Amino acid sequence: MSGKSKTDSRSVTAAERRLSALQMRKEGRTYREIGKGLGITGTAAYGLVRRAVDSMLKKSFEEAEMIVALENERLDGYLFALNDKIQKGSTQAIGQALKIMERRARLLGLDKPSKIAPTDPEGNEPYEPNGTYFSFLGCPFILTSSLAACLCL
């Protein structure tokens, strides 16, 4: 058995502090303000918020994986139900099976993504950026002349 239970009083208290820090952050408080409210440093407050967010993301991914697994099982059941008709050559059953297979491919991301031509916000004119691409903290941006002026570049 591992060292400590998820329900021991220290673990519960730590979880409550993470949620409290996250709630204060959602209210718009700075990490320094959160730290003061909890009697810790701003850096420690940041750590609490980060761990709370990481925990929520992990739970979301786990739930998404369970939903994908459930959907996959349903699709398996549908294909199994069609199997006899498919074996007898029913074109309708084959068509239904192909739709099920297409759904599975979309669900699992097996197909190549569709190519989409970017347009302006209204969707009317082709979008052609008139700036330089760059990455900031792993996010792509287009540096336009107006943005460069705002940044004093």
- Give the tens place of pLDDT for each residue, 93-107: 999 999 999 999 988
Per-residue pLDDT tens digits for 24-47: 999 999 999 999 999 999 999 999
Pair 18, 31: CB distance under 8 Å: no
**Predicted local confidence at residue 1, as pLDDT:** 46
pTM score of the predicted model: 0.51
**Predicted local confidence at residue 153, as pLDDT:** 45
Q: Name the more confident of 151 and 86.
A: 86
User: How far apart are alpha carbons 9 and 132 in whole angstroms?
Assistant: 54
Tell me: pLDDT of 8 over 80: no
Task: Sketch the domain layout of the chain as residue ranges.
Answer: 9-108, 116-153
**Predicted local confidence at residue 40, as pLDDT:** 95
Pair 128, 137: CB distance under 8 Å: no
Paired tokens of 35: 């730290």
**Predicted local confidence at residue 18, as pLDDT:** 92
CA torsion, ordered 18, 23, 24, 27, to nearest 10 deg: 160
Give the helix/strand (H/E) hosting 117.
none
Q: Name the more confident of 23 and 10.
A: 23
